[in-house]
Amino acid sequence: MSAPELIDTHCHLNFHSYDDDRAEALKRAKLAGVKTIIIPAIDGPSCHQALELAEQHEEVFAAIGVHPNSCSDFTASHVDDLRTLSRQQDIVAIGEIGLDYYWDKCPKPRQHRALEAQLELAAQLELPVILHNREAGKDLLAALVAWAPTAPASLRGRLGVLHSFSASLEVAQRAVELGFYIGFTGPITYKKADDLRAIAACLPQDRILIETDGPFLAPQQRRGKRNEPAFLPFINERLAELHGITAEAMAHQTSKNAKRLFALPSALKND
């Protein structure tokens, strides 16, 4: 019996930790049923790396953006560069952008300016956003509440995703009301993650995405190893259990969600 189709909506497949076996990792992903992978950028160089991999592999798509931990020198020229890159094929989102109050790598005011500028660009380009949040849920939500009404009609109901969700149920529910999706990663499988699982169980199935965030956050079954798309079924299965449905049904739903959010033409570009 063939594995259900899965979409890894967030994997840093361009990172050096995949350099020695990237082709093999893609093969393992395909065997595990992962038919599509989205690579989010974190800075200028990674935008080009993500695009290059998307051009080389039909199952790979790219997102372009500047991560909050990479925005210490963010200026209007970064927005211009992103706008130029956005003309290329295989780009499905602006990201990974957001706020990070855990690491002291960029002053908060500069993070906010970078976020607001990239949200504005996303609206202009009619692209959804991939959002990073670490210990900044209240401020990130405030920025999204302000931005959502400015988004074009083409993005209504598919504004973006709060990736690797780690905030409160209130943040998740408000984000869903605004038109965002919620992405879950390896921590949903961790033994002490009962609070996160309770949040996931409360959310509507048509607003959930699954992602590895590889090479980080390997699921419990592969804890301590480098994460990769082939491990995505563990996350899918845990979410299916929480919602009382089969793994196949959850895979179908999350893939449908990902295709809608990112306007994916199909699981494979050449289908």
Superfamily of domain 6-261: Metal-dependent hydrolases (3.20.20.140)
- Hey, what amino acid is at 234? F
- What pLDDT shows up at residue 238? 98
Encode pLDDT of 25-83 as tens digits.
Answer: 999 999 999 999 999 999 999 999 999 999 999 999 999 999 999 999 999 999 999 99
Contact 231, 218 (CB under 8 A): yes
Please write the tens of the pLDDT for every residue from 190-247. Answer: 999 999 999 999 999 999 999 999 999 999 999 999 999 999 999 999 999 999 999 9
pLDDT confidence bin for 2, thresholds 50/70/90:
low
Full-model pTM: 0.96
**DSSP calls for 104-139:** -SS-HHHHHHHHHHHHHHHHHHT--EEEEEES-HHH
> Would you state the pLDDT for residue 266?
56
- % residues pLDDT > 90 (the chain): 94
pLDDT of residue 265 exceeding 80, the answer is: no
Instruction: Give the per-residue pLDDT at 4.
Output: 78
3-state helix, strand, coil in the chain (%, to 5): 50, 15, 35
Give the pLDDT score at 270: 43
pLDDT at 271 over 80: no
The mean pLDDT value of the chain amounts to 95
Mean pLDDT value across residues 129-139? 97
